[in-house]
Structure 1
Amino acid sequence: MAVTAKKIQHKESQFEKLLQEQVRNELTASQQYIAVAVWFDDNDLPQLAAHFYRQSLEERNHGMMIVQYLMDNDITPQIPAIEQVRNEFSETRELIALALEQEREVTREIETLAKTARDEGNYLGEQFMQWFLKEQVEEVSSMSTLLNVVDRAKGDLFSVETWLARESVGDGGQDPTAPKAAGGAL
């Protein structure tokens, strides 16, 4: 009688569950940034629009980095529906404040992921989250700076546009230490 090996059923850890949820969070953030970019685009503010179109791609890439990590660790990724995004805005500061709060929320989510990996003794997961922690420091800082610029401009959006055209805000997606994104980074 031939003995066949039974496949061991993998029990999903809390870290893996949170990672699956984070895919949704990142893809929702990407869509929210598209809504923000479109608002700026529709209001003839091309620098702000371009900035948030880039932010959208960055968030999409973050989600796909998590998808790649899951696949690399023999965990089947679940591609979720996204949450509803906000499309109605009345003024520029409101959009930038929303973006800053979104980045602060993502920072809390990433911190929870890193802590959960550590608490579960998942050293690979903890190491994976280190890049995201570093990235969130940059994200919150750049959105805080942009909000400060908008506040100092006191409604002069051409000054904000000029500032964005002149300054390099964010990492431009060129971080060689970034995890690989499933399908390649856009």
Structure 2
Amino acid sequence: MSTRRIKKKQTRILTHLNRRGEAHMVDVGAKAVTAREAVAEGAIRMHAETLRLVMRGGHKKGDVLATARLAGMQAAKKTADLIPLCHPIPVTGIDIDLIPEKTRARIRVRVTARTLAQTGVEMEALTAASVALLTIYDMCKAVDRAMTIANVRLLAKSGGRSGTWRRAARRR
């Protein structure tokens, strides 16, 4: 797979499993606190009329995009409560862009999360993107139950021992 770095003669291990194969939380106590950033995205496809309704701001539940943005921010801060082996870390910054794409009848969510911590902020970025998309679904399901959430994925991360990683661009 072109999206991961594999070093020669390096064995990959699942860090959240102990020697007996049981789930455990990784001890990050000896790691240095460093600046870390992660970028994640996802999209929700919908009927064109649903997207027009969201863009007009005519939804009876209120501003769909503003609500989704706030839900994503809240979710990033609550990630450790949702993902059992995820460390609680201070989210020092989060940007959530909601990008309507009329030609594709979808809204793309792009999240950049930042922290100063002993472990990465990838899960917070992915959780924020997922919950923002779920919030859009929740607010619009009365008019479009056929919406589809897709392609929630990490695009990039920086900081920490493993350094910088970027998803390889798709070949067309």
Q: TM-score, normalising length from structure 2?
A: 0.32
Larger radius of gyration: 1
Q: TM-score, normalising length from structure 1?
A: 0.31
Between Structure 1 and Structure 2, which shows a larger proportion of strand residues? 2
